[in-house]
């Protein structure tokens, strides 16, 4: 039988098979031997062990058209990353790290700032301005007031999208408004720590419309950028593209070199200070990591 992994929990995979239902499966030992882990979204071949109890084994993973490590999902068209505009305060460094990884893996990203009802227009407008200037679609939303839902639906329609973002930003609340089938558990912000409690503990696929699928994934509080050399980091900041090859020195890293057109654009207000500072921070981390 051929099906799709709809959910994965503690080594069990729930595989949806058209016209047959959902089978609880384990992965064959050969996957561990080959260091291959089935991912939510994988199309797989299963052997049925017990039809009545819907039990089986995954025996083969079919070719993937895309694959992400974090969140760990396969066969997506795009990512919807959700941050709160306030409560918790948006960590733009964390957002930019996520965007770098998506750029490296050539995954289109939609950015959503939830809880816009807690901000004034200038504050939330600045967030929108920063990332729209880089070429990202940005949606300002409020799960509490139901704002931005139709705009998000239009951007998701006809695609398979993974949802990502920190805990406590309203991912589950927005997901509940986007569909009616599965009601996700929602949590509150920890006042002491200033961050959200984890409510989504595993990844699963939710059908929004006939040809529209959403992967709900656990929240993250950190994001490590690996397998990127510091010299290539500049290629994953979209606003730098137009200046590539125009600096005084070939291979300019846009950090310390004289005659850098990116730094000139920064001084002229054409590149956001926030994004550039996050670039320098990440560049420094990659440089330090290389020393070891």
| Annotated binding residues | 114-117, 165-173, 247, 252, 254, 260
Question: Which residues lie below 8 Å from residue 271, measured CB to CB, with a gap of 6+?
Answer: 239, 240, 262, 265
CB atoms within 10 A of CB 39: 22
Write b or e for each residue in 202-226: b if 16 or more Cβ atoms lie within 10 A of its Cβ, otherwise e.
ebbbbebeeebbbbbbbbbeebebe
Radius of gyration of the chain (CA): 21
- Binding-site residue set for Zn(2+): 247, 252, 254, 260
CA distances (Å), 289 to each of 113, 265, 285, in order? Answer: 31, 28, 6
Residue 76 main-chain phi, psi, to 5 deg? -105, 160
The three-class DSSP label of residue 111 is strand
Question: Nearest CA to 71 among 39, 42, 95?
Answer: 39
- Binding-site residue set for GTP: 114-117, 165-173
The DSSP output letter for 71 is: T
| Residue linked to tokens 């950090």 | 255
How far apart are the C-alpha atoms of 3 and 230, rounded to whole Å? 40
């Amino acid at each position: 039988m051929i099906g799709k992994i709809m959910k994965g929990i503690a080594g069990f995979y729930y595989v949806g098979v058209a016209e047959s239902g959902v089978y609880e499966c384990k992965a064959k030992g050969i996957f561990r031997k080959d260091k291959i882990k089935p991912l939510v979204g994988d199309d797989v071949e299963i052997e049925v062990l017990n039809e009545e109890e819907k039990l089986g084994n995954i025996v083969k993973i079919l070719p993937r058209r895309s694959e992400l490590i974090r969140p760990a999902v396969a066969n997506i068209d795009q990512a919807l990353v959700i941050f709160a505009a306030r409560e918790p305060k948006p960590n733009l460094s964390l957002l930019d790290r996520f965007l770098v990884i998506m750029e490296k893996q050539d995954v289109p990203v939609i950015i959503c700032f939830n809880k816009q009802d807690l901000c004034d227009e200038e504050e939330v407008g600045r967030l929108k301005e920063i990332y729209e200037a880089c070429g990202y679609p940005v949606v300002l939303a409020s799960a509490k007031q139901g704002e931005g839902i139709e705009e998000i639906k239009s951007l998701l329609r006809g695609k398979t999208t993974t949802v990502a973002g920190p805990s406590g930003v309203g991912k589950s609340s927005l997901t509940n408004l986007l569909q009616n089938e599965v009601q996700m558990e929602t949590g509150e912000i920890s006042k002491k720590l200033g961050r959200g409690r984890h409510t989504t503990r595993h990844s699963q696929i939710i059908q929004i419309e006939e040809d529209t699928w959403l992967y709900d994934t656990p929240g993250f509080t950190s994001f490590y950028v690996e397998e990127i050399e510091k010299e290539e980091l500049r290629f994953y900041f979209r606003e730098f593209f137009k200046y590539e090859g125009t600096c005084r020195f070939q291979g300019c890293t846009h950090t310390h070199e004289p005659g850098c057109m990116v730094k000139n654009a920064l001084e002229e207000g054409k590149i956001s200070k926030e994004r550039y500072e996050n670039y320098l921070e990440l560049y420094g981390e990659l440089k330090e990591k290389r020393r070891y």
